[in-house]
Amino acid sequence: MSDFLSRRRFLAGAAALACPKKGLAAPAAATTLHITEQRLTIDGKTAPALLINGSLPAPLLRWREGTDMQVTVHNHLDVLTSVHWHGLRVPSSQDGVPGLSYAGIAPRSTFTYHLPLRQSGTYWYHSHVAGQEPRGMYGPLILDPAGSDPLPPVARDYIIFLSTWTDVLPPWIVSNLKMDGDYYNFRQRSVASLPMEARRQGGMINALEDRLMWSGMRMSATDISDTSGMILSYLLNGQANMPGWSGLFRKGERVRLRFINGSAMTLYDVRLPGLPMQVVEADGNAVQPFEVDEFRIGVGETYVVDVVPEQEKPYTIFVQSEDRTGYARGTLTPRLGWYGPVPPMDPRPVRTMVDMGMSMGPGMKTGMSMPGPDKADSALREIDDPGPPPLSVENQWTDPHPTNRTASPGDGLEHTGRRVLNYTMLRALHPQPAPLPTREIVMHLTGNMERYIWGFNGRKFSQSGPIRLLRNERVRFRVINDTMMEHPLHLHGLWSQLENGQGEACPLKHTIISQPGSVMRFLVTADTPGRWAWHCHLAYHMDTGMFRVVEVL
C-alpha cells in the first residue's frame, strides 16, 4: 500500500469514524481547502481522482449556526473547478455553480467563499463542474445549532457517506450510454426468466404481452440504473465492502448515523438487520421521530437516524444499490475486527406499468387526487401548464395516468416484510403555518434512453429559458415524471416543501425523489433573490440536459 493510499485511508477514517463537537465554544471562522489530482486505487480499480485536502471523502467540515464562515479554496488543477454547498441557504453568488452564480475557480487560482450560516443540520459539499464530483470531489458538512439541539442527545455520532468508484472516466461513461442506453445493463430478461414472470403476471400470455409492449416502446423493464456494479464499486466512507468501515459502540448506547448519498448515479437501500432505526432528520431538517427497518436514499439526500444496540454483537450496515448489482457494507461493533454477517441481496426490481404511468399500485392515488387541503387549488391565480410535451427525439414517452407515489417506498421495496420509509411518514418537528400558493408551475420530466437525452418538458437545458419567480412569491411546482427512472430533484438556494399530506407539518427538503410514472407537488417560497440551479442529481442526467435555472427577481 502506497504512503498516499495509507494517508487517504487514515484521513477518511478520521473524518467519518466520529463527529466530535470540538471547538464549538469558539468556532474557527475560516477554513482552507486544497483541490488536487492524484491516482487512486480502490477495490482494485485505479484512476486519477480529484481530491479535497487529499482524502476521499473530503474532510468533515463541522461549523456552527450563526457563524459567518470564510472558506478559501486553492485550485491546484489545470482546469476550472468549484465547490457547491449542497443544501445551504447562502447568497446566490456563494452557491458555487460556475456560469450561473459565479465564474468558478480558475485553474491554478484561489477563491474565497463567504458563507453566512443561518441553519443547522447534516449537509455536504461537492464540485459542480461536470465529471468532477464522480471522481472524488465530495465531503460531509454538519452545522450544529446555535441554541438547543432539536435532536436527542447521543453517546456517539458517525458520518456514513455513501458514494461509488470506478476506473471508467465520466466522459467515457456518457459516451457509452449515448451509444446504447443499456450499455451497462447486463441483467436483461431472458427465456430462462419467462416462467417466473408468467407466475407473477398470471400466465404465459400475459408475460409475453408484457414483453412485447416493452419491446414496442423500445424500453427495458430491467433498466433500473444507467450504471451498475459491472463497473462500479459501492463505497461507505470511502471503503469497499471487504471488510468495510467500522464504528464502535457500547451496549445500550444511543448512536447517531448521519447518512449522506454522494454517489454519482446510485440510489441506495439502507438497513441494519436486527436493529431498528429512528429517523430524526431529513435533508438537514428535524422531523418528528419515527421507526423504520429500511429506507431508500436518493443521490443528494441526507437522513439522520438513531439506533440503540441492545446486544454485545456486531451489526451490519447493509447498503444495497437499487438495481441489486452490488452493495456497500459497514459495521457497528463492540470491538474492531468483529464483523457482522452480510445478508443476501433482495431480488432485483423490474419496472412495471406503474412506472410507465399506466396502472395503479399499492399506496398510490391518481394524479388528480393529490394530498393536502382541498382549498389549496382554489387559491391559485394562475396555472402554468403547457400540457404533455409531444413525442420527439428529446421525449420518448408521456405517462397517460401518472400517480401520486409519496406513500410508496419505491420499486423493489413494496413487499419485503420490513417497515420501509416513504415520504408520507416525514412530519416536520416544528410545523409552521405557510401561505397558500398563488401560482402552479407544471413540469414534465422527460427523456430518451436510446439517445440518452434528458430534460424538462421535452427540452434540454440548452433549449430552455429560466423559470422566473417574483421575490417572496409562493409557488407550487407540480412535477410529472414521464420517464421510467427515479430522478432526485435538487433545488439550490430555496427550500422545497413536499406536499405529502401532513398539512402544516409538510417537510422541508432540498432534494426530492420523483418516482417513475408519478406526479408530485412541492411548494417554494421565493425568499432569496438570485439565479438558482434546479436539476436531477443523477450526474449524467444533469450533464445531458436535465437542468434548469430558477430566477428569483
pLDDT digits over 370-418, tens only?
A: 444 334 455 566 788 877 887 777 887 787 889 999 999 999 998 899 9
Nearest residue to 124 (alpha-carbon basis) of 259, 256, 17:
259
Cα–Cα separations (whole angstroms), residue 92 to 47, 221, 394, 471, 487: 34, 40, 30, 14, 24
CA atoms of 453 and 448, how far apart (whole Å):
5
Environment class of 412 (CB within 10 Å of its CB; exposed 0-12, middle 13-18, buried 19+): buried
> Please, are residues 544 and 448 in contact by the beta-carbon 8 Å criterion?
no
Nearest residue to 482 (alpha-carbon basis) of 156, 189, 210, 217:
217
Beta bridge mates, 68: 116
Tell me how far the alpha carbon of residue 304 is from its chain's centroid.
Answer: 14
Enumerate residues 6+ apart whose C-beta is below 8 A from 378. none
Tell me the pLDDT tens digit for each residue of 266-299: 999 999 999 999 999 999 999 999 999 999 999 9
Backbone φ, ψ for residue 46 (5° rounding): -110, 130
Q: Is the pLDDT of residue 36 over 90?
A: yes
417 grid coordinates: 416484510
CA atoms of 265 and 245, how far apart (whole Å):
22
Backbone φ, ψ for residue 43 (5° rounding): 55, 35
Nearest residue to 523 (alpha-carbon basis) of 547, 503, 548, 545:
503
Residue whose grid cell is 407473477: 200
For the entire predicted model, the pTM comes to 0.90
What is the reported pLDDT for 449? Answer: 83
- How does residue 368 score in pLDDT terms, banded at 50, 70 and 90? very low
Backbone φ, ψ for residue 183 (5° rounding): -55, -40
Mean pLDDT, all residues of the chain: 88
- The stretch 184-210 carries a mean pLDDT of 65
What is the reported pLDDT for 372? Answer: 40
What amino acid occupies position 469?
A: L
CA atoms of 546 and 536, how far apart (whole Å):
6
What is the reported pLDDT for 181? Answer: 75
Environment class of 389 (CB within 10 Å of its CB; exposed 0-12, middle 13-18, buried 19+): middle
Secondary structure in 3-state letters for 125-188? EECCCCCCHHHCCEEEEEEECCCCCCCCCCCEEEEEEEEEECCCCHHHHHHHHHHCCCCCCCCC
Q: SS3 for 270?
A: strand
Tell me the pLDDT tens digit for each residue of 64-116: 999 999 999 999 999 999 999 999 999 999 999 999 989 999 999 999 999 99
Nearest residue to 266 (alpha-carbon basis) of 218, 314, 217, 301:
301
- How does residue 2 score in pLDDT terms, banded at 50, 70 and 90? very low
Backbone φ, ψ for residue 532 (5° rounding): -125, 140
What is the reported pLDDT for 385? Answer: 80
